[in-house]
Protein backbone atom coordinates (compact mmCIF):
# COMPACT_ATOMS: atom_id res chain seq x y z
CA UNK A 1 0.00 0.00 0.00
CA UNK A 2 1.41 3.37 -1.02
CA UNK A 3 0.99 5.75 1.91
CA UNK A 4 0.83 8.85 -0.26
CA UNK A 5 -2.46 10.72 0.25
CA UNK A 6 -3.82 8.01 2.56
CA UNK A 7 -6.34 8.88 5.29
CA UNK A 8 -6.40 7.05 8.63
CA UNK A 9 -8.83 6.99 11.54
CA UNK A 10 -7.72 5.97 15.05
CA UNK A 11 -10.21 5.47 17.88
CA UNK A 12 -8.92 6.14 21.38
CA UNK A 13 -6.21 8.31 19.86
CA UNK A 14 -5.62 10.80 22.67
CA UNK A 15 -2.86 8.96 24.54
CA UNK A 16 -0.99 5.69 24.92
CA UNK A 17 -1.10 3.22 22.03
CA UNK A 18 -3.56 5.26 19.97
CA UNK A 19 -1.48 8.42 20.23
CA UNK A 20 1.72 6.51 19.43
CA UNK A 21 0.13 5.12 16.27
CA UNK A 22 -1.25 8.52 15.32
CA UNK A 23 2.19 10.12 15.64
CA UNK A 24 3.81 7.41 13.52
CA UNK A 25 1.20 7.84 10.79
CA UNK A 26 1.48 11.63 10.83
CA UNK A 27 5.26 11.33 10.59
CA UNK A 28 4.79 8.95 7.63
CA UNK A 29 2.83 11.67 5.84
CA UNK A 30 -0.75 10.44 6.28
CA UNK A 31 -3.82 12.50 7.02
CA UNK A 32 -5.03 11.31 10.41
CA UNK A 33 -8.30 11.60 12.34
CA UNK A 34 -8.24 10.72 16.03
CA UNK A 35 -11.24 10.28 18.30
CA UNK A 36 -12.08 10.01 21.98
CA UNK A 37 -15.03 10.62 24.23
CA UNK A 38 -13.83 14.01 25.50
CA UNK A 39 -13.40 16.58 22.71
CA UNK A 40 -11.06 18.75 24.79
CA UNK A 41 -8.71 15.78 25.26
CA UNK A 42 -8.84 14.96 21.56
CA UNK A 43 -8.14 18.56 20.57
CA UNK A 44 -5.19 18.68 22.98
CA UNK A 45 -3.74 15.50 21.46
CA UNK A 46 -4.25 16.91 17.96
CA UNK A 47 -2.31 20.03 18.95
CA UNK A 48 0.54 17.87 20.26
CA UNK A 49 0.72 16.12 16.88
CA UNK A 50 1.46 19.54 15.34
CA UNK A 51 0.12 18.89 11.86
CA UNK A 52 -2.51 20.55 9.72
CA UNK A 53 -3.42 17.06 8.53
CA UNK A 54 -4.86 15.97 11.91
CA UNK A 55 -8.59 16.02 12.63
CA UNK A 56 -9.99 15.84 16.19
CA UNK A 57 -13.34 14.09 16.62
CA UNK A 58 -15.48 13.38 19.67
CA UNK A 59 -16.90 9.85 19.46
CA UNK A 60 -17.88 7.14 21.91
CA UNK A 61 -17.34 3.86 20.04
CA UNK A 62 -20.04 2.21 22.14
CA UNK A 63 -22.54 4.45 20.31
CA UNK A 64 -22.87 3.45 16.66
CA UNK A 65 -24.36 6.81 15.65
CA UNK A 66 -21.21 8.51 16.99
CA UNK A 67 -19.03 6.34 14.75
CA UNK A 68 -21.28 6.98 11.74
CA UNK A 69 -20.96 10.71 12.37
CA UNK A 70 -17.19 10.41 12.82
CA UNK A 71 -16.81 8.72 9.43
CA UNK A 72 -19.00 11.33 7.75
CA UNK A 73 -16.83 14.08 9.25
CA UNK A 74 -13.62 12.40 8.05
CA UNK A 75 -14.91 11.94 4.52
CA UNK A 76 -16.16 15.53 4.43
CA UNK A 77 -12.75 16.81 5.61
CA UNK A 78 -10.37 14.51 3.72
CA UNK A 79 -12.52 13.07 0.94
CA UNK A 80 -12.14 9.39 1.82
CA UNK A 81 -10.95 6.89 4.43
CA UNK A 82 -8.30 4.23 3.77
CA UNK A 83 -7.00 2.94 7.10
CA UNK A 84 -8.88 2.28 10.34
CA UNK A 85 -7.29 1.50 13.72
CA UNK A 86 -9.87 0.28 16.25
CA UNK A 87 -7.94 0.99 19.42
CA UNK A 88 -10.36 2.38 22.03
CA UNK A 89 -10.53 0.16 25.11
CA UNK A 90 -11.09 -0.01 28.86
CA UNK A 91 -10.07 -2.49 31.55
CA UNK A 92 -11.79 -3.38 34.82
CA UNK A 93 -10.21 -6.17 36.84
CA UNK A 94 -11.22 -8.28 39.82
CA UNK A 95 -12.56 -11.71 40.81
CA UNK A 96 -15.66 -12.80 38.93
CA UNK A 97 -17.81 -12.80 42.08
CA UNK A 98 -16.94 -9.12 42.54
CA UNK A 99 -17.21 -7.99 38.91
CA UNK A 100 -20.09 -5.54 38.63
CA UNK A 101 -22.62 -5.40 35.83
CA UNK A 102 -21.45 -1.87 35.09
CA UNK A 103 -17.81 -2.92 34.67
CA UNK A 104 -18.74 -5.94 32.53
CA UNK A 105 -20.93 -3.83 30.26
CA UNK A 106 -18.31 -1.08 30.00
CA UNK A 107 -15.72 -3.56 28.70
CA UNK A 108 -18.01 -5.43 26.32
CA UNK A 109 -19.60 -2.22 25.00
CA UNK A 110 -16.28 -0.47 24.36
CA UNK A 111 -13.75 -3.22 23.73
CA UNK A 112 -15.89 -5.58 21.66
CA UNK A 113 -19.07 -3.89 20.46
CA UNK A 114 -17.07 -0.71 19.85
CA UNK A 115 -14.70 -2.59 17.53
CA UNK A 116 -17.73 -3.84 15.58
CA UNK A 117 -19.25 -0.35 15.45
CA UNK A 118 -16.01 1.09 14.09
CA UNK A 119 -15.78 -1.52 11.34
CA UNK A 120 -19.49 -1.34 10.53
CA UNK A 121 -19.29 2.44 10.14
CA UNK A 122 -16.14 2.37 7.99
CA UNK A 123 -16.49 -0.81 5.95
CA UNK A 124 -17.93 0.77 2.79
CA UNK A 125 -15.07 3.27 2.67
CA UNK A 126 -12.58 0.43 3.22
CA UNK A 127 -14.14 -1.62 0.42
CA UNK A 128 -14.23 1.34 -1.97
CA UNK A 129 -10.59 2.22 -1.29
CA UNK A 130 -9.18 -1.31 -0.81
CA UNK A 131 -8.16 -0.23 2.65
CA UNK A 132 -6.78 -1.70 5.85
CA UNK A 133 -8.58 -2.39 9.14
CA UNK A 134 -6.53 -3.04 12.27
CA UNK A 135 -7.91 -3.85 15.71
CA UNK A 136 -5.81 -3.51 18.83
CA UNK A 137 -6.54 -6.56 20.95
CA UNK A 138 -4.22 -7.91 23.65
CA UNK A 139 -2.36 -11.01 24.71
CA UNK A 140 -5.34 -11.22 27.09
CA UNK A 141 -7.24 -12.24 23.97
CA UNK A 142 -5.53 -15.62 24.01
CA UNK A 143 -4.18 -15.95 27.58
CA UNK A 144 -6.69 -15.94 30.43
CA UNK A 145 -5.82 -14.94 34.00
CA UNK A 146 -7.47 -14.66 37.40
CA UNK A 147 -9.29 -11.39 37.86
CA UNK A 148 -9.59 -10.87 34.11
CA UNK A 149 -12.85 -12.61 33.22
CA UNK A 150 -14.55 -9.56 31.71
CA UNK A 151 -11.42 -8.22 30.03
CA UNK A 152 -10.49 -11.68 28.72
CA UNK A 153 -14.01 -12.11 27.33
CA UNK A 154 -13.86 -8.80 25.49
CA UNK A 155 -10.38 -9.34 24.04
CA UNK A 156 -10.94 -13.00 23.11
CA UNK A 157 -13.99 -11.63 21.28
CA UNK A 158 -11.96 -8.96 19.48
CA UNK A 159 -9.49 -11.56 18.22
CA UNK A 160 -12.23 -13.88 16.96
CA UNK A 161 -14.23 -11.03 15.46
CA UNK A 162 -11.28 -9.57 13.60
CA UNK A 163 -10.09 -12.90 12.22
CA UNK A 164 -13.56 -13.76 10.91
CA UNK A 165 -13.89 -10.25 9.44
CA UNK A 166 -10.53 -10.78 7.72
CA UNK A 167 -11.97 -13.78 5.88
CA UNK A 168 -15.09 -11.83 4.90
CA UNK A 169 -13.25 -8.73 3.66
CA UNK A 170 -10.27 -10.05 1.75
CA UNK A 171 -12.48 -10.79 -1.26
CA UNK A 172 -12.79 -6.98 -1.53
CA UNK A 173 -9.00 -6.53 -1.24
CA UNK A 174 -9.42 -5.12 2.26
CA UNK A 175 -6.60 -6.20 4.55
CA UNK A 176 -7.44 -6.96 8.19
CA UNK A 177 -5.08 -7.52 11.12
CA UNK A 178 -5.40 -7.77 14.88
CA UNK A 179 -2.39 -6.73 16.97
CA UNK A 180 -2.15 -8.38 20.40
CA UNK A 181 0.30 -6.47 22.63
CA UNK A 182 1.60 -7.58 25.99
CA UNK A 183 2.77 -4.99 28.52
CA UNK A 184 2.77 -1.49 27.01
CA UNK A 185 3.75 1.82 28.58
CA UNK A 186 0.41 3.64 28.56
CA UNK A 187 -2.27 5.30 30.69
CA UNK A 188 -4.38 2.14 30.58
CA UNK A 189 -6.40 1.36 33.74
CA UNK A 190 -5.28 4.59 35.42
CA UNK A 191 -1.53 3.92 35.08
CA UNK A 192 0.81 6.91 34.88
CA UNK A 193 3.83 6.18 32.64
CA UNK A 194 7.12 6.50 34.50
CA UNK A 195 10.83 5.61 34.30
CA UNK A 196 10.16 2.10 35.59
CA UNK A 197 8.23 1.35 32.38
CA UNK A 198 11.36 1.22 30.25
CA UNK A 199 11.22 -2.58 29.87
CA UNK A 200 7.75 -2.45 28.31
CA UNK A 201 6.66 -2.07 24.70
CA UNK A 202 6.44 1.65 23.93
CA UNK A 203 3.51 3.25 22.08
CA UNK A 204 5.86 4.41 19.33
CA UNK A 205 6.94 0.78 18.82
CA UNK A 206 3.37 -0.15 17.96
CA UNK A 207 3.15 2.94 15.76
CA UNK A 208 6.17 1.71 13.81
CA UNK A 209 4.59 -1.75 13.57
CA UNK A 210 1.48 -0.26 11.97
CA UNK A 211 3.57 1.69 9.46
CA UNK A 212 5.51 -1.48 8.66
CA UNK A 213 2.26 -3.39 8.09
CA UNK A 214 1.05 -0.71 5.70
CA UNK A 215 4.33 -0.88 3.80
CA UNK A 216 4.33 -4.65 3.33
CA UNK A 217 3.98 -6.24 -0.08
CA UNK A 218 0.20 -6.27 -0.70
CA UNK A 219 0.34 -10.03 -1.24
CA UNK A 220 1.38 -10.49 2.41
CA UNK A 221 -1.10 -10.36 5.30
CA UNK A 222 0.00 -10.90 8.92
CA UNK A 223 -3.58 -11.38 10.10
CA UNK A 224 -2.77 -11.88 13.80
CA UNK A 225 0.31 -10.51 15.55
CA UNK A 226 1.35 -11.30 19.13
CA UNK A 227 3.95 -8.87 20.46
CA UNK A 228 5.70 -8.97 23.83
CA UNK A 229 8.48 -7.12 25.61
CA UNK A 230 11.81 -8.79 24.94
CA UNK A 231 12.36 -9.24 28.66
CA UNK A 232 10.25 -9.14 31.79
CA UNK A 233 11.00 -6.39 34.31
The residues assigned a catalytic role are 151
How long, in residues, is the chain? 233
The answer to whether the beta carbons of residues 36 and 16 sit under 8 Å apart is no
CA dihedral 119, 2, 214, 134 (to 10 degrees): 0
The answer to whether the beta carbons of residues 226 and 142 sit under 8 Å apart is yes
Half-sphere exposure of residue 160: CA atoms within 13 angstroms, side-chain side: 9
Q: What is the C-alpha separation between 15 and 32, in angstroms, rounded?
A: 14
CA atoms 124, 130, 131, 132: torsion sign = positive
CA separation (Å) from 61 to 16, 82, 96, 188?
A: 17, 19, 25, 17
Q: What is the C-alpha separation between 130 and 155, in angstroms, rounded?
A: 26
The answer to whether the beta carbons of residues 160 and 115 sit under 8 Å apart is no
Amino acid sequence: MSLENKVAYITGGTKGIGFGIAKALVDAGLKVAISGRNLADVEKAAEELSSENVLAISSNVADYTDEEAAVATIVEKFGKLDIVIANAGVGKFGPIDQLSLEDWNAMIDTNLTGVFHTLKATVEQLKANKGYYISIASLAGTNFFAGGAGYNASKFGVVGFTQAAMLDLREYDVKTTTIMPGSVTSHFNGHQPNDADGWKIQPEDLGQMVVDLLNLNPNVLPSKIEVRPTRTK
